A and B are shown apart, each in its own frame.
Chain A
Amino acid sequence: MKLGPPALAAALLLYPFIFTGPFYWDIGVGFLLAAISASAWNIVGGYAGQVSVGHSMFFGIGAYMPLLVYNLWKLPPLTGAPAAILVSLGLAVVIGMPTFRLTGHYFSMATIAVAELIRIFVGTWDLVGAAIGQQGPAVGRGWWDLTFRSELPYYYIFLGVLALLLYVTFTVERSRFGYYLRSIKAGERAARSLGVPVRQTKLKALMLSAAFTSAAGSLYAFKTGFIDPESGFGILVSVQMVIVAALGGAGTLFGPLVGALILVPLQTATNTWFGASGSGLTYILYGGIIVLLARFEPGGLHELWYRVAARLPRRRHAA
């Protein structure tokens, strides 16, 4: 098991050299973006068990801000990313304070409502391009505009961000904060009785999660150079984060990566096979995965692996 992380790192570093060409690189970038978004969501949704279905609000802010600073002041889009993180942190506090009074489905519904309100508002706000959205620099003025012809630079930038996020999550997992998050997920009342400051811990988790989700949104904007209300703040953006994390194993370090590894190639395959006529397939795919997870393995593939692995030594003893 200890060989796992270095092997994973080597595989991700070497992927573009093994699978060459824009098509595979695009899949690689899509995988990394999905893994970053889901890992960011995982901090609050997986570890703390606060299932937000409105994380697109942070993703959208992260995506809009770089293109907004470019269009308004001709600043490099990169400068919009830290600003977006600050705005997302502020929004996390404003949203978290009232919604963390709610638990379970009520919390999830509240996050959907807030994200949808923001999406509708952005879609009618002329300053940010209303329904049309924002366009980035068509041709980069320099490397700092992060407008590359090849997918390869994006791949390694995204990989760097994912590595940082995994390191932060790993550190969180082993810290008091991480233990507190898991105890909140397991039972708030018992956690409180052991001195866990529940609301404060949840809020910190939401802020950390919002910051990285915003960064994921900025990465998306750097790469596509375009953003509109649906691709930034749409509910599908949030749902994808939830499904990717849940499929691999919410509340685990590598669960979101496993989920992204399955879902992104699957999405690409359905898009390739069915083209534009299969645009609704994404919804069917998501719905199918939700049904399968809920029915057979709510803990995701990680939980399935845990149960299988738990049986293996016993068999050996028996033999």
Chain B
Amino acid sequence: MLLRAENVSIAFGSFHALSGANLSVGEGEIVGLIGPNGAGKSTFFNCIGGDMTPNEGRIVFAGADLTDASPETHARAGIGRTFQVPATFEDMSILDNVVVGAFLRHPHRRDALAGAGEVLEFTGLKELQHQRARSLGTPGRKRLEIARVLATSPRLMLLDEVLAGLNPAELQAGIDLLRRVHARGITLVIVEHIMEVIMTLAQRVLVFNQGHVIAEGKPSEVVANQIVIEAYLGRGRRKRRT
């Protein structure tokens, strides 16, 4: 297993954002995390990415215990993440945004620039590289976040609603990009509300609700799961429909 999150729990005061969540991800897998708003998906991401330290449980990546490690250590270990609200470096050029990521594996500027150039070509941002990040719209910023993480040469990418807010054509381009990212041998864990993304890309899906993992399985199984339907639509919804 590449990533093992065991019994991860975190509470903010009396509010239990995560209660004993488990996730195992094998090398090369694409795993989807879904659930209603406030279900604990992003908190779980924050724990895996090192932004938060769980109160209980363990996070093991490639055999190393990263439970208490900083986000920098997670990045060095090979975990890259994007943010729900794009956190691009607005006043830096698109190239410089990606170079910051590339410096993780290439300490010298020339190598980092070469690495960033390859990633910009791959993500289709090469032509815009000298523009400031703030000049990009939402799809461009999300693409830039992916590029920036790719430049760190991650083994695992955590994608937090990276395709949200896109129109159908942009969504299709985004799905294609993620397929190509996966084809580079990178394992993907995707938090997404858009079921088209999950159904198209994910090989396995975990459903979160109120801090718990309530279902796990193939996408087609999960969407038909009565507990999942109730979590999204409320109890009795199925009865009323039939």
Check A195 against B92 for contact (C-beta < 8 Å).
no
Say which residue of B75, B90, B91 sits within 8 Å of A193 (CB atoms). B75
Give the residue of B71, B76, B100 whose beta carbon is less than 8 angstroms from that of A180: B100
Which residues does chain A contribute within 8 Å of B149, judged by CB atoms? Answer: 193-194
* Chain B residues, CB < 8 A from A175: 109
Contacts of A186 in B (CB 8 A): 89-92
Partner of A191, one of B50, B74, B90, B100: B100
Does B66 have its Cβ within 8 Å of any Cβ on chain A? no
Interface size on B, residues (CB 8 A): 31
The distance in angstroms between the C-alpha atoms of A187 and B85, with both chains bound, is 12
CB of B49 within 8 A of CB of A182, answer: no
State whether the Cβ of B3 lies closer than 8 Å to any Cβ in chain A. Answer: no
Does A183 interact with chain B (Cβ within 8 Å)? yes
A182 to B93, CA, bound (A): 11
CB-nearest residue of chain B to A200: B72
CB-CB contacts below 8 Å: B45-65 with A: 49-51
Is B94 engaged at the interface, CB distance under 8 Å to the other chain? Answer: no
Whether the Cβ atoms of B87 and A187 lie closer than 8 Å is yes
Residue of A nearest to B105 (CB): A195
Are A190 and B152 interface neighbours, CB within 8 A? Answer: no
* A-side contacts of B51, CB under 8 Å: 189, 192-193
Residue of A nearest to B75 (CB): A195
Complex formed: what's the CA distance from A58 to B104 in Å? 32
| Shortest CB distance B150–A (Å) | 11
Chain A count of residues within 8 A CB distance of the other chain = 19
Q: Is the CB of A176 within 8 A of B109?
A: yes
Which of these, B72, B89, B90, contacts A197 with CB under 8 Å?
B72
Task: Judge whether A83 is part of the interface by a CB distance below 8 angstroms.
Answer: no
Given A174-B109, A176-B107, A180-B103, A193 contacting B49 (CB threshold 8 A) = yes
Q: Are A190 and B87 in contact (CB under 8 A)?
A: yes
B219 within 8 A of A: no
Residues on the A chain within 8 Å of B50, using CB: 192-193
Whether, in the assembled complex, A179 has its beta carbon less than 8 Å from a beta carbon of chain B, the answer is yes
Given the contacts A175-B109, A189-B87, A190-B89, A196 and B100 also touching, CB distance less than 8 Å: yes
Verify B103–A192 contact, CB threshold 8 A.
no
Bound-complex Cα distance A179 to B99 (A): 8
Among candidates B49, B89, B152, residue contacting A187 with C-beta atoms closer than 8 Å: B89
Asked if B112 is at the interface of the complex by the 8 Å CB criterion, the answer is yes
Q: Does B211 contact A (CB under 8 A)?
A: no
The reply to whether the CB of B148 lies closer than 8 angstroms to some CB of chain A is: yes
The verdict on A182 contacting B75 (CB below 8 Å), with A189-B51, A192-B70, A194-B149 known, is no
With contact pairs A179-B96, A179-B100 given, residues A195 and B76 touching in the complex (Cβ less than 8 Å):
yes
* 29 residue pairs A–B, Cβ–Cβ below 8 Å: A174-B109, A176-B103, A176-B107, A176-B112, A179-B99, A179-B112, A182-B89, A182-B96, A183-B100, A186-B89, A186-B90, A186-B91, A189-B87, A190-B88, A190-B89, A191-B89, A192-B70, A192-B71, A192-B72, A192-B75, A193-B87, A194-B80, A194-B104, A194-B152, A195-B76, A195-B101, A195-B103, A196-B72, A196-B100
Q: What residues of chain A have their CB less than 8 Å away from a CB belonging to chain B?
A: 174-176, 179-180, 182-183, 186-187, 189-198
The 7 closest A-B pairs by CB, nearest first: A186-B89, A195-B75, A190-B87, A192-B71, A195-B104, A183-B100, A176-B103
